[in-house]
Amino acid sequence: MITELSLDRANPLPLYFQIKNQMIERIRSGQFDTSVRIPSEMEIAKTNGISPMTVRQAYKEMVDEGFLYRIQGKGTFVNKQLPGEDKPDLPSEELEAKTTEVAVICNTFREAFMFCAQLQMGIEEAADEYNINIHMLASKGRPIYSEKNQVLRSLLNDMRLDGAIIIGPINDSDLALLKSLSVATVIVDHDNQDEHQTRIMAEDEQFVQAAIKTIATKKHERVGLLCGPKSDRKNVIRRGDRLEAGLKKCAKQNGLTIPRDAIQHCDVTDPDSMYDIVNSLLDIKNRPTAIISDGDGLTRRLIECIQKRGLHIPDDVEVFAYADTDACMYPFAHKPLFEMGKMAVDCMRRQIARTPIKGRYFEIPVTFND
């Protein structure tokens, strides 16, 4: 039935916006003859069990945008010349000369400032090169279409967002929303194992392999790991999962045994949580003599706690930090955050330009200290 639409009331996208998108899709596919009026607001409302006012809002926007026109006393009709039909697809060189709007979305930039700053510098350098406008937005743990995320909501409503670079976790409904609006998306530092989704990660296992090899060479027998949280979703792998899995695999290869309580995960955006897990690790009966620490924040808390106990680095405890920045103490290797940011923008502009990309999953090599 031509008046029946597939509306999802659980979708954070408003009903009028879903109606508008589906009607535009049908218009572009030629389901409505330009000489015959389209179904009235009342017909659409009655078929789909919604208010005529909701349909009216969708129709009004389609009239304003040039998809429809009204003739008083006769009804609403489809324009013969649709928006964008007189504009051929731009070749990639011209597309790069056009301004592109991309949102960089993170749950919070403040608590993960050093980590995000390195990514941001890479993103900004590449964005300048390709004439891309970047909007840095913190979702604060809310759905991206939340009324409290007004800037992002406005960009989505006005269809002015060409792409989104997601730093860290994103829930399935937010990802589905972006896809429904044809917003190109790249996920950085978070693997949702979707083969159709572009994801960019660091080669975390490369870091773990090298760290364990060095630890074994130095004759350490007790090894600990401090890192961020593991994923609470079956289809998602976080750095905490990758580091733990890599540690267990590499330790076994090098003849090391890692006790369960020597691996500690925490919320790296919560300072209290970081201090708690550091102290938990240092309190175990056979305290590790070598500790792998993920990130500047956790490493700083680890060093503070070691010093408060009157212990010495590296005589009592040797620290192998997986650093975010050059400011991190005792770095064994640095995450390639700057390079990951640049790669995210390059993948994004290729998606927008519809340029083929070889693969959807990219691992960037880490940088080791001399």
Q: Are 285 and 279 in contact (CB under 8 A)?
A: no
Q: What's the confidence (pLDDT) of residue 287?
A: 94
Q: What's the confidence (pLDDT) of residue 90?
A: 47
Specify the higher pLDDT residue, 140 or 351: 351
pLDDT category, 51, cuts 50, 70, 90?
confident
CA-based nearest residue to 194, from 162, 246, 229, 236: 236
pLDDT digit string, tens, across residues 267-286: 887 888 899 999 999 999 99
pLDDT category, 116, cuts 50, 70, 90?
confident
Q: What's the confidence (pLDDT) of residue 9?
A: 81
pLDDT category, 98, cuts 50, 70, 90?
low
195: number of Cβ within 10 Å: 8
Question: Is residue 360 over pLDDT 90?
Answer: no
Contacts of 302 (CB under 8 A, 6+ apart): 226, 278, 291, 293, 319
Q: What's the confidence (pLDDT) of residue 83?
A: 74
pLDDT digit string, tens, across residues 155-199: 776 667 788 999 987 877 788 878 777 788 999 988 888 888 899
249: number of Cβ within 10 Å: 14
Q: Are 228 and 295 in contact (CB under 8 A)?
A: yes
pLDDT category, 88, cuts 50, 70, 90?
very low
Mean pLDDT across the chain, nearest whole number?
Answer: 86
The Cα 108–Cα 167 span in angstroms is 9
Among 94-108, 152-166, 346-360, name the one with the lowest average pLDDT: 94-108
Q: What's the confidence (pLDDT) of residue 267?
A: 85
**% of the chain exceeding 90 in pLDDT:** 41
Q: What's the confidence (pLDDT) of residue 75?
A: 86
Q: What's the confidence (pLDDT) of residue 334?
A: 95
CA dihedral 356, 360, 365, 366 (to 10 degrees): 130
Q: What's the confidence (pLDDT) of residue 87?
A: 45
Specify the higher pLDDT residue, 87 or 138: 138
The Cα 88–Cα 312 span in angstroms is 67
Q: What's the confidence (pLDDT) of residue 136?
A: 82
Contacts of 313 (CB under 8 A, 6+ apart): 303, 306, 319, 330
- Burial class from Cβ neighbours inside 10 Å (0-12, 13-18, 19+) for residue 363 reads middle
Domains and CATH numbers, the chain: 15-78 (1.10.10.10), 92-202+339-368 (3.40.50.2300), 204-334 (3.40.50.2300)
Q: Which residue carries 């980590």 as its tokens?
A: 115
Q: Is 243 helix (H, G, I), strand (E, B) or coil?
A: helix
Q: What's the confidence (pLDDT) of residue 357?
A: 75
Q: Which residue carries 């289809």 as its tokens?
A: 235
The predicted model scores a pTM of 0.72
The Cα 226–Cα 56 span in angstroms is 56
pLDDT category, 340, cuts 50, 70, 90?
very high
Question: Pairing relation of β-strands 75-78 and 68-71?
Answer: antiparallel
